[in-house]
Amino acid sequence: MTLFTKKGCTKCDFIKDKFDFDALGIKIEVLGPENPDALAHLAWHELVEVAQKKLPILVLDDNSYLTDVVPIQQYLKKNLYN
C-alpha cells in the first residue's frame, strides 16, 4: 500500500501522525517538484486528477484507493488493527 501526501497538507500531516505507517508496511510518497518519482507513481495509478482535488490518498494492495482522513482512518483501524 502507498499513502500519497504533500508538504503543507494539514490532513496529510494529521493522518501521518495518527499511524505508524512504517510498522504497517505502508510506503509514504510525498508529492512535489523535488520528487518526480512520486508523481510518476501517482500517474501510474491514474490518480493525478484525484490528487489535485483531495489528499491524502491511500492506494490499497488491490489498486483501489481511499481519499481523505476519515475513510483512510476507518480503513486502517478496521483492517490493520484487528
Q: Tell me, what's the pLDDT at 79?
A: 86
Rounded mean pLDDT, 57-73? 96
Exposure string (b/e) for 24-51, b if CB count within 10 Å is 16 or more?
A: eebeebebeeeeeebbebbeebebeeeb
pLDDT at residue 51, rounded to an integer: 96
Domain boundaries defined on the chain: 2-80
The one-letter amino acid at 52: Q
CB atoms near residue 5 (< 10 Å): 23
Rounded mean pLDDT, 64-69: 96
User: Residue 82 has what pLDDT?
Assistant: 53
pLDDT tens digits, one per residue of 4-62 = 999 999 999 999 999 999 999 999 999 999 999 999 999 999 999 999 999 999 999 99
Assigned CATH topology for domain 2-80? Glutaredoxin (3.40.30)
